[in-house]
Amino acid sequence: MTEVPTVDFPTLWFVPSWLEAHGVEELSSPALWRLVSQLRCDGERLPAMFTGWALGGEVYRCGDYGCVCGWEYEYEPGEPMAAW
């Protein structure tokens, strides 16, 4: 098994869960590392969907963006938030 580095930067962690809820198979460790690296929020490479830092309790709802799956994600304090 490939060694995956520790994620020591803020990233949009809800995306892998969102992908799984929408039918994407569980990502391999290397694929997960590439994804969270691409979604890192460090002030240098902010993804277009980054909307700010959570205070805690904010909720991402797929339904807010026209999806009918019912998937929701509650942000933890300090977590980067996103919108489509």
For tokens 């991402």, what's the residue? Answer: 60
Q: What is the per-residue pLDDT for 42?
A: 60
Query: Which pTM value belongs to this model?
Result: 0.61
Instruction: Examine the pLDDT at 3 and tell me if it is beyond 80.
Output: no
CB 11 within 8 A of CB 79: no
Alpha helices, DSSP H only, in 1-84? 14-21, 29-38
3-state helix, strand, coil in the chain (%, to 5): 25, 20, 55
Give the DSSP letter of residue 70.
-
Tokens of 22: 């929408």
Decide: 53 and 81 in contact? Cβ < 8 Å.
yes
What percent of the chain has a predicted confidence (pLDDT) above 90? 14
Tokens linked to 9:
């930067």
